[in-house]
């Protein structure tokens, strides 16, 4: 791979890492908001939405860090 392609992939992974962090924080906020709901259906809706956002954000961060690590190990060889 070219160094330009490697830099572009690293930059995209860094952006995905930051976006994943934002989505995870938003998921935590939604889970915290679950406390202030009145009905069972509202609580379950907030819980499912919060957990879904947490898993999407965590997956994005995990994939981004894995991509960065893979590119940097290839670069060292």
In the chain, where the domains are located: 3-76
Determine the pLDDT at residue 1.
Answer: 58
**Cα distances (Å, whole numbers) of residue 75 to 17, 29, 69, 72:** 20, 38, 10, 5
pTM: 0.85
Per-residue pLDDT tens digits for 50-61: 999 999 999 999
Stretches where the chain sits below pLDDT 70 are 1
Determine the pLDDT at residue 63.
Answer: 97
Contacts by 45-53 with C-beta closer than 8 Å and gap 24+? 51/27, 52/27, 53/23, 53/24, 53/26, 53/27
Contacts of 22 (CB under 8 A, 6+ apart): 57
């Amino acid at each position: 791979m070219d160094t330009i392609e490697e830099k572009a992939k690293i930059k995209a992974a860094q952006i995905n890492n930051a976006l994943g962090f934002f989505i995870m924080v938003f998921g935590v906020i939604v889970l915290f908001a679950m406390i202030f709901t009145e009905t069972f259906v509202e609580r379950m809706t907030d819980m499912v939405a919060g957990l879904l956002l947490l898993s999407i954000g965590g997956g994005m961060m995990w994939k981004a860090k894995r991509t960065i690590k893979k590119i940097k190990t290839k670069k060292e060889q």
